[in-house]
Amino acid sequence: MAESSTVARPYAKAAFEFARDNKALQAWSQSLSLVAQAAGDADVRERILGNPRLTFEDKTRLLLEVCEDQPFDESVGNFLRLVGEKGRLAALPDIFDEFEALRAQEEKRVDVTIVSAFELDDAQQNVLAEALKKRLNREISITTQVDRELLGGVILRTGDTVIDGSVRGRLQRLREALTA
């Protein structure tokens, strides 16, 4: 998917800069989320985006019709027409992901996934969130998952960074050290 994200990056950057300059990050985020979900749908990809008989205008119009529940700002519609004109509607999910990454960076916010062996209560989540907030100097948004195979401890994932503090991870590192 490196190629797709490479294609998506300039569109996401342009959309982000426009939305930021017009103080409309939240509105653009909601609109792009909706069209990205529609464009990521297998049926929409097959019948609309992958249909060679449709022009880019038709594909853009049909995609907007699929999302008609949400009225779009004129600038979002113009952006989608430009993306369609360049034949990049299939990249909308990646454009949205890149847009959200830029937005999180601008808002000094980071999404963290915590994988633990057992369900974490609110107090434990708050302790981890506060520690990460101090360390990363960013607002923290936590998503938790349970993986009983960890035995204990947690794995923290944010972007490309993974901190493995699990018992399973420690045992694996010990095994590698002993066999090296």
CA dist list (Å): 5 to 13, 46, 89, 91, 164:
12, 21, 13, 8, 27
Q: What is the mean pLDDT of the chain?
A: 87
**Per-residue model confidence as pLDDT tens digits over 46-85:** 888 888 898 888 888 888 888 777 777 888 889 999 999 9
Q: What is the pLDDT of residue 1?
A: 45
DSSP assignment of 18-36 equals: HHHHTT-HHHHHHHHHHHH
Taking domain 2-104, whether its CATH number is 1.10.260.40 is answered by no
What are the extents of the domains in the chain? 2-104, 108-179
Gyration radius from the chain CA atoms: 21
Is-above-0.75 flag for pTM? no
Q: Which residues, given as ranges, of the chain have pLDDT below 70?
A: 1-2
